[in-house]
A = this chain, B = another copy of it.
Amino acid sequence: MLEQLLREFYQGSKLAAARIITMVENDTPAGREILRKLYPKGGRAYIVGMTGPAGSGKSTLTNSLVKLMRQQNYRVGVVAVDPTSPFTGGALLGDRVRMGDLALDPGVFIRSMGTRGDLGGLSWAARDALTVLDAFGCDYLIAETVGTGQSQVDVATVADTVIMVTVPGLGDDIQAAKAGIMEIGNIFVVNKADRGDADQVVRFLQATLELGSRDAGWQPPVIKTIAWQGTGVEEVLKAILAHRRFLEQAGLLAGLRQARMKEEVMRRVERMILDRLNNGIQTGAVLSRVYARELDPWTAAEKMLQSMLCSKQE
Question: Which A residues have a C-beta under 8 Å from some C-beta of B?
Answer: 32, 35-36, 39-40, 42-43, 53-56, 83-88, 119-120, 146-150, 152-153, 167, 169-174, 176-184, 208, 211-213, 257-258, 261-262, 264-266, 268-270, 272-274, 277-278, 286-287, 290-291, 293-294, 296-302, 304-305, 308-311, 313
Contact = CB atoms under 8 A, between A and B. Distances in A.
A297 B261 contact: yes
A170 B167 contact: no
Secondary structure of the A side of the interface?
Answer: helix
Contacts of A311: 310
B177 A53 contact: yes
Contacts of A179: 85, 87-88
Given A171-B169, A266-B277, A293 B39 contact: yes
Given A293-B40, A311-B310, A148 B181 contact: yes
A70 to B, nearest CB: 27
A120 B119 CA distance: 14
Given A87-B212, A88-B211, A273-B305, A54 B173 contact: yes
A85 to B, nearest CB: 4
A196 to B, nearest CB: 11
A120 B149 CA distance: 9
